[in-house]
Amino acid sequence: MGSSDGAPILAARQVARRYPARGGVRWGRDRELVVALDGVSLELRTGEILGLVGRSGSGKSTLARLLLGLETPDEGEVTFDGRPLESLTGPERRRLRRDVQVVFQDPHAALDPRQSVGGVVAEPLAVHGLFPRAERRGRGKLLLAEVGLPGEDAFFERSPRGLSGGERQRVALARALASGPRALILDEPVSALDASVRGQVLNLLLGMHDRTQLTMLLIAHDVRLVARLCNRVAVMAGGRVVEEGPTRSVLESPTDPATVELAAAARWLSEPPAGGAARTPGEPGSMR
């Protein structure tokens, strides 16, 4: 499997990010700042599937936006192949845009309804000037086939609007793969999908990793997902990475309270239910 000692493609070093507070009525200039990230360091190493797990609001998605270069850290730096993002030249920036792709939770919002499925998938080829115009359509169909979608013309011309959730997420994945990226950032990629379809998408990701050793960062609040896919995991809480290591050892002997809580919730969801009536309240649940 992936060489976990691979060189980092992306790395955050001591990054901090603050936002003006949301909610609450506050006038004037002295808006309170909310610390979204507080001295976070994380490496995404070549060939690995790294899990980034944490509760809502723990800073996972903010960290992803910094790694993608969509936002700039207030402190610290993000590097791409060892070079700080701010120091990248124009061509290097374009290479980052090509080499690192992202798939979000809600493919509804991510797919332009005015484009055809084929247009959505082939657009990055044009943007990055990757194939001669005449070959882009054929390449787009290959990408659709790669994610298990029909490669025929009728599907190519369809609007993303009529697709099921699983199909939309596959289209988003095909688009992400179009530029031949070295790393994928997957932000809750299956949490909007039905259980019977979720497995198909997860297996697709695993199959892809087996074949091409594509580096992946999987962001999720559900430890069960990370346990299934990742060799290494980082746990976030309150804008910090509180624990990091091989998935199995982190989940089996968590040291930080945030990891303990997340792992307990995942175990609670994994257990076969007790028979008969519901548990009496006050009983410490099913934490074993």
Partner 1 sequence: MTPIAQVSNLAVAFPSEGNGWRRVVDGVFLTVGEGEVVGLVGESGCGKTLTALALFRLIPEPGTIAAGTVRVGGEDVLALDDRRLSSLRGGLAGLVFQEPARALNPVRSIGFQVSEAARLHLGLPAGRAASLAADLLAEVGLEGPERLVRAYPHQLSGGQRQRVLLACALAADPRLLVADEPTSALDTVSQRQLVELLERLRARRHLAVLFISHDLALVGRLAERVTVLYAGETVEIATRRELFEDPRHPYTRALMQAQLRVEGDGPARLPTVRGAVPRAGEWGSGCRFAPRCPFAFERCHTARPALSELEIGRQARCFLVGDAEEPSGQL
Binding residues for partner 1 (CB under 8 A): 1, 23-25, 49, 55-57, 164-167, 194-200, 202-203, 206, 209, 221-225, 227-231, 247-248, 251, 261-270, 272-281, 285
Name the residue nearer to partner 1 (CB basis): 90 or 272.
272
Name the residue nearer to partner 1 (CB basis): 119 or 166.
166
Q: Catalogue the long-range contacts made by 63-69 (C-beta closer than 8 Å, 24 or more residues apart).
A: 63/12, 63/15, 63/37, 63/236, 64/102, 64/185, 64/187, 64/217, 64/219, 66/12, 66/15, 66/17, 66/37, 67/10, 67/12, 67/100, 67/185, 67/217, 68/100, 68/102, 68/185, 69/93, 69/96
Write down the least CB distance from residue 200 to partner 1, Å. Answer: 5
Name the residue nearer to partner 1 (CB basis): 9 or 163.
163
3-class state of residue 5 by DSSP:
coil
3-class state of residue 179 by DSSP:
coil
Name the residue nearer to partner 1 (CB basis): 140 or 166.
166
Write down the least CB distance from residue 134 to partner 1, Å. Answer: 33
Write down the least CB distance from residue 119 to partner 1, Å. Answer: 23
Write down the least CB distance from residue 35 to partner 1, Å. Answer: 16
Write down the least CB distance from residue 206 to partner 1, Å. Answer: 5
Write down the least CB distance from residue 34 to partner 1, Å. Answer: 12
Name the residue nearer to partner 1 (CB basis): 72 or 249.
249
Q: Are 184 and 214 spatial neighbours (Cβ–Cβ below 8 Å)?
A: yes
Name the residue nearer to partner 1 (CB basis): 7 or 269.
269
